[in-house]
């Protein structure tokens, strides 16, 4: 994503490097062990690489694909030095990560493809959905955009309260109704207000109850239908928030949400402080949905626009600068 590289400054790289420390400490030590003292890429090297990837929660399926690609590129028993092999592994890990179609790529600062640009945020409770919405609002606002939030998670009073706290903290308006109100009605009001106020970005929070797929599907499609009464092309983004620290469980949530609605992008949170950062590769690869944002901490500044090159590069970098 050339578009994002410009925005990936020293500060972002530091946040990424620090946040991924746990993931890479396990990964890199196994990687080093896999290659150390080897003079050729034999089955043992490949087995050890496989172990390094699985231990970082890249998941069996994706790991096997990466190893297969490496095997195809590297003639068996051919000598490669450590940096050559690292380079190939790094490239193949990047290749696994899907890019958003050019038309759907955006940064906080770039001109958005629609006005208002409507982002519907989905995900189960506790994954960091509200925090991510707050961080998105902060970043868009900082880039000079007007933002409106919609509290369509009306199932729990706490969800509306929490979103209100973020709207105050960031200084952006919020549309809400009473607890138990119809989520679709809140979404309708929010988009209507966004249109009449000329907002650049409308971000709508939804309830993430997973106990019943049919229910989730109905609720999300109803929300979409009412939004489309105002803007037929909206929502422009359905952003699924997943908690990266739950590793393979996040994959299960992705499975359920992608079955219930058309998810267009992923935000993976809580990658700081977990050794399971490789799950980003597993999720992107398995669902072929681009990761657009990653959460690297609880503060407003801790949401990064995902850059696959920088992400993989960080997994391989030995020390924090």
Nearer to ligand GTP, 80 or 250 (CB): 250
Site residues (CB under 6 A) for ligand GTP, limited to 244-273: 269-270, 272-273
Task: Report how far residue 319's alpha carbon sits from residue 321's, in angstroms, rounded to the nearest whole number.
Answer: 6
Nearer to ligand GTP, 152 or 159 (CB): 159
Q: Name the DSSP letter for residue 302.
A: G
Is 271 marked within a binding site?
yes
Q: How far is the CB of 273 from ligand GTP (least distance, A)?
A: 6
- Answer whether 19's CB lies under 8 Å from 271's CB: yes
Which segments of 75-230 are extended strands (E)? Answer: 117-122, 147-152, 174-175, 201-206
Task: Report how far residue 80's alpha carbon sits from residue 289's, in angstroms, rounded to the nearest whole number.
Answer: 33
Site residues (CB under 6 A) for ligand GTP, limited to 102-131: 125-131
Q: How far is the CB of 23 from ligand GTP (least distance, A)?
A: 13
| Contact call for residue 159 and ligand GTP (CB under 6 A) | yes
- Closest residue by Cα to residue 93 from 310, 269, 321, 320: 310
15, 162, 206, 253: residue in contact with ligand GTP (rule CB under 6 A): 162
- Answer whether 278's CB lies under 8 Å from 250's CB: no
Task: Report how far residue 48's alpha carbon sits from residue 236's, in angstroms, rounded to the nearest whole number.
Answer: 42
Is 320 marked within a binding site?
no
Q: How far is the CB of 102 from ligand GTP (least distance, A)?
A: 27
59, 150, 278, 297: residue in contact with ligand GTP (rule CB under 6 A): 297
Q: How far is the CB of 22 from ligand GTP (least distance, A)?
A: 11
Is 261 marked within a binding site?
no
Is 37 marked within a binding site?
no
Nearer to ligand GTP, 131 or 193 (CB): 131
Residue 187, Cα to own-chain centre: how many angstroms? 23
Listed ranges 67-75, 175-183, 275-283, 291-299: which one lies at the site for ligand GTP (CB under 6 A): 291-299
For ligand GTP (CB under 6 A), the number of binding residues is 18
Torsional sign, CA 100, 22, 32, 286:
negative
Is 154 marked within a binding site?
no
Q: Which long-range contacts (CB under 8 A, 24 or more apart) does 253-257 make?
A: 253/123, 253/124, 253/127, 253/210, 254/283, 254/286, 254/287, 254/289, 255/287, 256/210, 256/213, 256/216, 257/122, 257/123, 257/216
Binding site for ligand GTP (CB under 6 A): 125-131, 159, 162, 269-270, 272-273, 295-298, 302
Binding residues: 123-130, 205-209, 269-272
Binding residues for GTP: 123-130, 205-209, 269-272
């Amino acid at each position: 994503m050339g578009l994002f590289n410009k925005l990936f400054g020293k500060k972002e790289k530091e946040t990424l490097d620090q946040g991924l420390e746990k993931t890479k400490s396990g990964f890199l030590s196994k990687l080093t062990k896999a290659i150390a003292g080897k003079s050729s890429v034999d089955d043992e090297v490949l087995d050890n690489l496989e172990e390094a990837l699985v231990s970082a929660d890249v998941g069996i399926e994706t790991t096997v694909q990466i190893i297969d690609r490496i095997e195809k590129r590297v003639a068996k028993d051919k000598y490669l030095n450590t940096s050559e092999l690292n380079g190939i592994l790094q490239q193949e890990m990047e290749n696994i990560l899907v890019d958003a179609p050019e038309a759907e790529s955006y940064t906080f600062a770039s001109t958005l493809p629609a006005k208002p640009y409507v982002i519907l945020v989905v995900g189960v409770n506790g994954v960091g959905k509200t925090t991510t919405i707050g961080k998105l609002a902060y970043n868009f606002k900082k880039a000079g955009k007007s933002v409106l939030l919609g509290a369509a998670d009306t199932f729990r009073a706490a969800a509306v309260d929490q979103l209100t706290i973020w709207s105050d903290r960031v200084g952006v308006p919020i549309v809400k109704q009473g607890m138990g109100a119809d989520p679709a009605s809140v979404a309708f009001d929010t988009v209507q207000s966004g249109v009449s106020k000329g907002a650049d970005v409308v971000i709508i929070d939804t309830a993430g109850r997973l106990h019943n797929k049919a229910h989730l599907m109905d609720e999300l499609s109803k929300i979409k239908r009412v939004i489309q009464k105002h803007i037929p092309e909206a929502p422009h983004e359905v952003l699924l928030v997943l908690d990266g620290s739950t590793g393979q469980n996040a994959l299960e949530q992705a499975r359920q949400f992608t079955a219930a609605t058309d998810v267009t992008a992923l935000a993976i949170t809580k990658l700081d402080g977990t050794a399971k950062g490789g799950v980003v590769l597993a999720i992107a690869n398995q669902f072929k949905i681009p990761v657009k944002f990653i959460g690297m901490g609880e503060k407003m500044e801790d949401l990064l626009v995902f850059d696959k090159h920088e992400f993989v590069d960080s997994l391989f970098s030995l020390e924090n600068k």
